[in-house]
Structure 1
Amino acid sequence: MSRSIVRQSKFRHVFGQTVKAEQSYDDIRVSKVTWDSSFCAVNPKFLAVIVESSGGGAFLVVPLAKMGRVDKNYPLVIGHSGPVLDIDWCPHDDNVLASGSEDCSAMVWQIPDHSLVRPLTEPVAVLEGHSKRVGIVSWHPTARNILLTAASDNLIMLWNVATGEPLISVDDHPDLIYSISWNRNGSLFCTTCKDRRLRVCDPRKAEVVAERLAPHEGIRPMRAIFTRDGNIFTTGFTRMSQRELGLWDPSRFEEPMALLELDTSNGVLLPYYDPDANMVYLCGKGDSSIRYFEITEEPPYVHYLNTFSSKEPQRGMGFMPKRGVDVSKCEIARLYKLHDKKCEPITMTVPRKSDLFQDDLYPDTAGPEPAVEAEEWLEGRDRDPVLVSMKGGYVPPKSRELKASRKNLAADSRAAPPRRSMSTCDAATLPPQLLERLLEEIQHLKAAVLAQEKRICDLENKLSQYANGTA
């Protein structure tokens, strides 16, 4: 009698769990723009969400620790004249964020460590070079200050945000670009396009080095991401509109390494990849579930692990970098699920009885230090990310002081000392508790002023009505 063999994997029992209600972020008006973006970006310090805004584009940035209800008067980041379509945190500075918008520009923002006390309207850099809406922004994984943007003009541009200058343009795509993903050391990136082709591009040569027509036969949008081994994981649709995933070797694009049909839902599957665990999480827009898979080096290469299900559908999703998870609870991933009016963290945990640090779950992961400078990368130098240990947990560094010049975004903290204003109350010298209390009092005062303004307007209206009635 044959005995069934169960595949051994330390991630076979990963389970998902929503946090308590008070640990969510409530009263967030998530953007209703019809664009296949995640609408959310998160890092170990901040949560950023693209929100509804009249008269332009805006997004909300709150410190991770500021859970609960978000004040409706909470200051936003406002600078774009059109709706914001995509946002991305810099992997080398947790206080720097890039945004792309329908106003044909991308902007780079410096977010202060504490909560915003007034709307942030001045970006550090404005990147203008596209003729149509900028739908994708993506930072280089290892080189300092290199940002990629892609727009509806079918053009991909690489920028040095320290100077605001465009470095490279790639114009090999004849139609709308759906997704872009860098490989581990940033020497290549892969794209999916409306012309149903999957391409691998060398950015420094500005050319396509490999391509595959219709990795998924359906005409619906595809997504593609590089794995740590240099293979490409894709999601798309079959000819019968079933959702499908695939794994491809760019050196042998003729046949897939794996091809799996999933279901008949019509939401685009957004893949989020964990290179340390070699796991991928699939989140469909409009779905109420998250599927996760493990990728291995032996056939059949892609192994289904489990599905996390909840009651409400997701509008978008944010994925925490590995250095932001809680190692004391054996948490290997954390996703931030967007509802219509709130953001709900979901933790992915491997059950372990021991309280000791689990070395096998937490290999050294990519840290915040860039591996190469922008000039070195342009000259052809490639290096893997600089790794940091997860033992004892990761503590985000304080914000680096940036020079006032917009042309010098990420000046090293070892550069010339920053100029300090001659204010009587310097925020940098205040204890964190006092600073937090002062900021909260400012918020309450602002709310009180707004309430009094509304009351005065109401009284003036009543007075004018009374005067008109007695005239």
Structure 2
Amino acid sequence: MSRRVVRQSKFRHVFGQAAKADQAYEDIRVSKVTWDSSFCAVNPKFLAIIVEAGGGGAFIVLPLAKTGRVDKNYPLVTGHTAPILDIDWCPHNDNVIASASDDTTIMVWQIPDYTPVRNITEPIITLEGHSKRVGILSWHPTARNVLLSAGGDNVIIIWNVGTGEVLLSLDDMHPDIIHSVCWNNNGSLLATTCKDKTLRIIDPRKGQVVAERTRPHEGARPLRAVFTADGKLLSTGFSRMSERQLALWDPERFAAHEGMRPMRAVFTRQGHIFTTGFTRMSQRELGLWDPNNFEEPVALQEMDTSNGVLLPFYDPDSSIVYLCGKGDSSIRYFEITDEPPYVHYLNTFSSKEPQRGMGFMPKRGLDVSKCEIARFYKLHERKCEPIVMTVPRKSDLFQDDLYPDTPGPEPALEADEWLSGQDAEPVLISLKDGYVPPKHRELRVTKRNILDVRPPSGPRRSQSASDAPLSQHTLETLLEEIKALRERVQAQEERITALENMLCELVDGTD
């Protein structure tokens, strides 16, 4: 009798469990805006949730340890004049978060480690460049202060948050509303999905679409896409029969050869297509293609017929993708491998109540002593509930195979280095001794780099260009600002004196 061979994987028994009631965050008025973002962002220090707010947009920021019932007067982060649609924590500073709003602006905020007494209303900087609402934010994975935004004007803008400057504006690549944007591992490419049903891979610094696939999913509902660790693409969408789908794509199949020089192609006797062309680096190459599988996905999984758009959360360390649908009460997860069928279903975590949004903890924020490989923050109508994914292990020792070195909080590049064409992989850290978030570091507010908060390391550096005295132009600018501030203070003092005199006259007249 033949025996079924079971695929070997350390993630076959990933176990999901909701936190106990006292570990949830209660009495939070989660936003009711109809927008397909996660409405929640989390890092090793804070949990941020977009909430209902009168007269504009707001979100609440809670220290992770502040579980239980949240006071109704707990300070909010406010400043937008319309609902907030997306929030995203800076990967290189756990106290900095960006928010995007229906009011067409992006605001970047500094969150203190202590609980503020009143609402935080003054952002570090406000970024204005979109003509319609801004619904997507994404920080660059390796370059300091580089933030991407996408708006209802079909434009992607990449900012240097430290100076408030627009680094790049991609305004002629999407003919309709952009549904999702994702950086690849080193931030050299973008994957975008659009209402025109096209999945694009874009080189933002060249301003070019390097590969694209029309209608990767045949259905009418929005698509989502994320890069995998090896450069493939995971997309979620709907079939023509409205079944939800997960697909794995190899971008090299989108374009036979990526170079700019001419291609040639001939049929072989077996019916395959033999091509010659050039790589992106101008190296000559050969290709052999199956015409019946020219633009087909590497793998395709069909699920149910729910209407909720599936939000993919991908962990490059374990190569597991978690699918969370708004309005669903479950989280499905799959392992991505190099072996057929490439996408392997692992399990489904189910609960009773549907989710209105979902936050995904970065790997450095997990508890390695409990073999925790993922943690979600599920939004209900009035609360947020942590959900922990663990791999059961009997040993109390550090599990090296579960926790390879993972991206840490230090950037690998400066914004101008990335813009000039440099690429760098994330700076990795070990989780063997756990990760302790650094304490709050005050920003050194300068015109050149507002978010440059790297602490000095080692002895004092030798004199360099960055230590040079202020230029004459900078000094003149500072003196002008000081003069303007003095004039403003003097005008206010005169106004206060006039008002005091008027008050005295009124009091004397009533005596």
Q: CA deviation at 1:116?
A: 2.2
> Aligned match of 1:306 in 339, 347, 362?
347
Quickly say closer, same or farther: Cα 1:170–1:120, change in 2 above 3 A: same
Partners of 1:161 and 1:407 within 8 A in 2: no
Which whole-Å CA distance do the structure 1 matches of 2:454 and 2:91 have between them? 16
1:274-309 deviation per Cα after TM superposition (whole angstroms, max 9, x unaligned): 000000000010000000000001111100000000
2:151 corresponds in structure 1 to: 151
Structure 1 residues 24-39: aligned runs within 5 Å: 24-39=24-39
Query: Structure 2 matches for 1:330-341, cutoff 5 A?
Result: 330-341=371-382
CA contact (8 A) 1:200 1:210 kept: yes
Report the equivalent of 1:191. Answer: 192
Alignment check: 8 A CA contact 1:125 1:407 kept: no
Q: Does 1:267 align with 2:268?
A: no
Residue 405 of structure 1 deviates from its aligned partner by 4.7
- Structure 2: unaligned runs, 5 residues or longer: 255-294, 457-511
Counterpart amino acid of residue 126 in structure 1? T
**Helix, strand or coil: the match of 1:291?**
strand
Partner of 1:449: none
Partner SS for 2:369: helix
Looking at structure 2, the residues matched to 15 and 293 of structure 1 have their Cα atoms a distance apart, in angstroms, of 13
- How big is each residue's C-alpha offset from its partner over 1:211-250, in whole Å with a ceiling of 9 and x where there is no partner? 0000000010000000000000000000011101100011
- Corresponding position of 1:246: 247
Q: Deviations over 1:391-423 (max 9, x none)?
A: 0211001122112457632123447xxxxxxxx
CA contact (8 A) 2:445 2:451 kept: no
Aligned to 2:76: 76
Residues of 1 paired with 2:24 and 2:150: CA distance? 32
Return the letter of the residue paired with 1:333.
A
Residue aligning to 1:232: 233
Who is 2:367 aligned against?
326
Alignment match, 2:269: none
Name which of structure 1's ranges 288-297 and 114-123 shifts more when overlaid on structure 2. 114-123
Q: TM-score, normalised to structure 1's length? A: 0.87
- Structure 1: gaps (5+ residues): 416-471
Deviations 1:100-148 (A, max 9, x none): 0000000100100122221000000100000000000100000000000
Q: Where does residue 58 of structure 2 map in the other structure?
A: 58
Instruction: Tell me the distance in 1 between the aligned counterparts of 2:302 and 2:253.
Output: 21
Corresponding residue for residue 428 of structure 1: none
Distance in 1 between residues matched to 2:411 and 2:29, nearest whole Å: 34
Structure 2 residue identity aligned to 1:100: A
Task: Number of aligned residue pairs: give it.
Answer: 416
Deviation at 1:360, TM superposition (A): 0.5
Secondary structure at the aligned position of 1:251 is classed as: helix
Q: TM-score, normalised by structure 2?
A: 0.80
Q: Hey, what does 1:13 align to over in structure 2?
A: 13
- Relative distance call for 1:405 and 1:372 in structure 2 (3 A) is closer
Asked if the contact 1:177–1:191 (Cα under 8 Å) also holds between the matched residues in 2, the reply is yes
**Aligned-partner Cα distance in 2 for 1:225–1:215:** 13
Q: Residue in 1 aligned with 2:90?
A: 90
- The code of the aligned residue for 1:354 comes to S
- RMSD of aligned C-alpha atoms? 1.1
Summarize the Cα distance change of 1:133–1:122 in structure 2 as closer, same or farther, 3 Å threshold: same
For 2:309 and 2:454, the matched residues in 1 are separated by: 41
Determine the structure 1 residue equivalent to 2:334: 293
CA contact (8 A) 1:401 1:413 kept: no
Question: 2:444–2:453: 8 Å Cα contact kept in structure 1?
Answer: no
Aligned-partner Cα distance in 1 for 2:201–2:451: 29
